A and B are shown apart, each in its own frame.
Chain A
Amino acid sequence: MFNNDIRNEGTVDPLIESHMNSHYPVQPKIRFIFLSAVVYILLSGFSVQIKADENEVIIIGNPDIFESTLTKKEIRDIFLEKKRKWTDGKEIVLTVMYHSTIHETFMIRYINKTPAQFLNFCKHLVFVGQGRFPKAFSSEEEMMDYIEKTSGAIGYLSQKPPEGKKLKIITLTE
């Protein structure tokens, strides 16, 4: 019954017709603005250059971490919380340093996200019950101190850690 063909051109209510035919004169202008905006966005996206990608990144971890080497893909899976435990079963504890050049470099080179996209990604994980925010620090010293005393912690630096710091430098493999 719900698929009965009950209409034909001769039976459409005049009131319906009047609504069907009414429209704004500005419609083509709106479409033009909308399409222009989309084209501009697309063109802009393909011309952007991010210079932060040229800086050095040192991946560091707590000395009790079993792994000594990680691939770029493994680093990405760790920071996107797809991989949440080390090989020996310890919990992976993430650390980040928002608003720093090293954070931007690390994100683009290893995570394939901009810092803003990564932050949104973390908020997404938390607010849908899929993960936790990484521990955030405002300096490399604070980050090193935390990683040194936290089992399973991993982070990144812009230069090698000073002598005397008990940190594992994780080598990148292909």
Chain B
Amino acid sequence: MKKLVCILIVLFSVNLSMAMDDELDIHGFVAQGFLKTDHNNFIQNTEDGTFQFNEMGLNFNTQLSDSLLMSIQFFASDFGDIGNDEITISHANVDYYFREWLCIKAGINRGAFGFYGDTRDIDMLRTYVFLPTSVYPEAYRDCINSAKGVEIHGNMYPSLLALEMGDLSYRFQYGFIDIPKGSGIERILAKRGHTDTLSSSTDTSFNLLLTWDTPMPGLRIQGQYVQIGYQLNGTTKDDIFWKQTKEDMLLGIEDDAYRSFLEDSLVITNVPINFSGDISMIVYGAEYTRKNLVIAFEEAIYGQAFDYTIDARLSDSILKKTDSLNNKGLGYYYAASYQFYDWLKMGAYYAVTYPLKDDKKGKDNLVFIDRPSYFAWQKDSCLSLEFDFNRHSSLKLEAHYMDGGTQLDYIVNLDPEGYFDTQRYWYLFAAKLSFNF
């Protein structure tokens, strides 16, 4: 069925293109990857090697008038349990160019995120198979890929005392992000809250990205703030986390008889829990390009500010307990890439992730109680080679040396014992063949 839909889309577009006398541009890409780890399953069964790592897209765009550009892109990918080659619309919008400093885009807009976030699905646009996952974590992919709504964007040229200060471009996006069930962010929140998820939903989001192309040629600086409203309903797990939480709750009770009564009667495991709040992301960085060399640094702070309510049971009655969950994660990377020849590019980066920036060693927070401490960080040293055969095809070979396992449980569901089957130090090898037209 999926293949039939693809064929129909292609046939329709070719006919349309001919009918429109070359005014409709059609482009596309296909990328097939391979992943292998020596220890730990990253995404899915990577210890045995996996080809479940591919992307494909078909893009149509046309200039409707001097000011109106229309673009639509169909996209499908497979990424372990995520995607499964389902055809989706990655963007479908009309961009109205009013002035250089004011353009308005409406429809499904590609999410702006950092220097390279909007290229995540499009392998050919970067040197690396994986963007540094510290700033571009796979878990947040669904939150930042695209949003239904409007985008206002443009470029301005500030000056100070008659001195030109370079270009300042902005992108402001407002709309609704349709985060699917089983998304990475749902898993993160459920794991932080030791909760079995029943349902989740999103509110509107806003996203402001500012990029300053400085007067120094090749140097650009960027800052961004994203906020997404989010709710999650589920039940608390029957695990050591909630048992410890209950003990902590009873610590302050001085009346021994009452405390003993609560110990026997109060139930906070396997009871309904509701999280409601905001996911926020602050990203900033700098990129310097000099001829064939590109150097970049970016840092991201991921915030989860949620109020939660537990329907605890006390004998036969329901006792509502409300509290808040405030987590801040930190990720950053340093990267450099260099094009030696038209056909050869090399890149390297060092990326560091801390899911809780205030507990970098995994010793202080209850969240890490049931897993090895090295789930509190991930340090990724990456070396990548890109071979461009021509304008339309390339091969990438990439090796990662990992210290830590933060992002292992973003994708793969680890049971309590599974955490202790992992290794702190591991290698990831990735290869990807890409074609585009």
Q: Contact residues of A with B, CB < 8 Å?
A: 1-7, 12, 15-16, 19-20, 22-24, 27, 30-31, 33-34, 37-38, 41-42, 44-46, 48, 50, 77, 82-85, 89-91, 98, 108, 112-114, 116-117, 119-120, 123-124, 126-133
Contact = CB atoms under 8 A, between A and B. Distances in A.
Interface residues of B, number: 80
B244 A4 contact: yes
Contacts of A126: 25, 27, 59, 61, 71
Given A1-B323, A128-B91, A120 B125 contact: yes
B297 interface: no
B310 to A, nearest CB: 10
Top 5 A-B residue pairs of the complex, sorted by shortest distance between their CB atoms: A45-B293, A129-B71, A91-B66, A41-B338, A129-B91
A38 B399 CA distance: 15
A87 to B, nearest CB: 11
A30 to B, nearest CB: 5
Interface of B: 25, 27, 29, 57, 59, 61, 63, 65-67, 69, 71-73, 91, 93, 95, 97, 100, 105, 109-110, 118-119, 122, 124-125, 155, 167, 169, 192-193, 217-218, 244-245, 248-249, 289-293, 295, 323, 325-327, 336-340, 342, 345-346, 348, 350, 363-369, 371-374, 381, 383, 388, 391, 401, 420, 422-425, 436
Contacts of A120: 124-125
A143 B124 CA distance: 27
A84 B250 CA distance: 66
A6 B366 contact: yes
B110 A128 contact: yes
B321 to A, nearest CB: 10
A20 B372 contact: yes
A31 B381 contact: yes
B414 to A, nearest CB: 13
B323 A15 contact: no
B338 A44 contact: yes
A123 B217 contact: no
A24 B402 CA distance: 11
A127 B73 contact: yes
Contact of B100 (A22, A48, A77): A77
